[in-house]
Amino acid sequence: MEFERRLETVIGAIAGDVIGSIYERYGIKTKEFPLFDWRCHITDDTVLTVAVAHVLLHGGSYVDRFRQYYLQYPEAGYGGMFHNWARSIDPKPYNSFGNGSAMRVSPVAFAFDQIDHVRKEAARSAEVTHNHPEGIKGAEATASAVFLARSKASLNEIRLYVEREFGYDLSRTPDEIRPDYEFDVTCQGTVPAALSSFLHSEDFEDAVRNAVSLGGDSDTLACITGAVAGAYYGVPPYIEQEVNSRLADPLRTLTQQFADRFVVPRKRRSWLGGLK
């Protein structure tokens, strides 16, 4: 079933982050877990996703917005390298290939109507911190998958495009990935697993459960998976309600403003020309 939801532009990513937030590092290795718990909360994945949406909506530089949101939400669980970067007097890219570039990129996929423009902006959002080729690739691959999902490409079309353009192997199912998967904060270790969790899902909730059940960096895995799944399936109202109840008013307001500006009809769009 598809859900025509106002906030689906970014709520899928935020939902994944919130659901996965309490399972990070625990390696639960099962899809049978409470979807929401009183301990579920937003992390840096949500904060920086909203920061990207802010740039796309109101302008400004990614450097300035990331630092602004870091200062507003300093306890969100940022990585050590980002923490040092955000507090630097003159922040420079630090050649990271961590999954932070991919976890925050999904708003880019809703702000542009051609996949080449999406990829260019995804790279721009990544390179202020994650200027390693793998860091940029992870952001581009994630944004491309979200764009194709919201354009109503088929699951196979999404898989083939990402495999061809970025060289990720998306053939393995979550059941095949899960037994040997370990905590991994790199783009190359996170993005393929997250996209496979979406590609082998039945609906939004199933996709997010797949991602969390891998037992890795669960909030980021589920954030990336949720971003694509939300664009493809829509976000069920009960999940949207739970997530909104955990968002501070400024974050909720910005996501609503972004959706008002960039929400698109859930129908197949003309994206094929961008795939040549």
- The pair of structure tokens assigned to 208 is 């997010």
Residue tagged 């400004």 (tokens)? 60
pLDDT of residue 265: 53
pLDDT of residue 264: 59
List domains and CATH numbers for the chain. 8-262 (1.10.4080.10)
* Contact by Cβ (8 Å): 21, 43: yes
State the pLDDT at residue 27: 78
Is the distance from CB of 199 to CB of 173 less than 8 angstroms? no
Q: Tell me the CA distances in angstroms from 128 to 50, 85, 125, one per residue in order.
A: 16, 10, 7
Largest Cα–Cα distance of the chain, in whole Å?
A: 49
Rounded CA gap, 126 and 108, in Å?
Answer: 11
Q: Counting every residue, how long is the chain?
A: 276
Sorted by sequence, the CB contacts under 8 Å of residue 234 that are 6+ apart come out as 1, 2, 3, 4, 5, 8, 204, 266
At 9 the pLDDT is 82
Q: How far is CA 203 from CA 107, 130, 210, in A?
A: 21, 31, 11
> 221's torsion region: left (phi>0), alpha (psi -120 to 50) or beta?
alpha
pLDDT value, residue 129 = 98
Contact indicator for 139, 101 with CB cutoff of 8 Å? yes
Residue-wise pLDDT tens for the chain (276 aa)? 344 444 468 999 999 999 999 998 787 999 999 999 999 999 999 999 999 999 999 999 999 999 999 999 999 999 999 999 999 999 999 999 999 999 999 999 999 999 999 999 999 999 999 999 999 999 999 999 999 999 999 999 999 999 999 999 999 999 999 999 999 999 999 999 999 999 999 999 999 999 999 998 999 999 999 999 999 999 999 999 999 999 999 999 999 999 999 875 544 444 444 443
pLDDT for 87: 96
What's the confidence (pLDDT) of residue 24?
Answer: 84
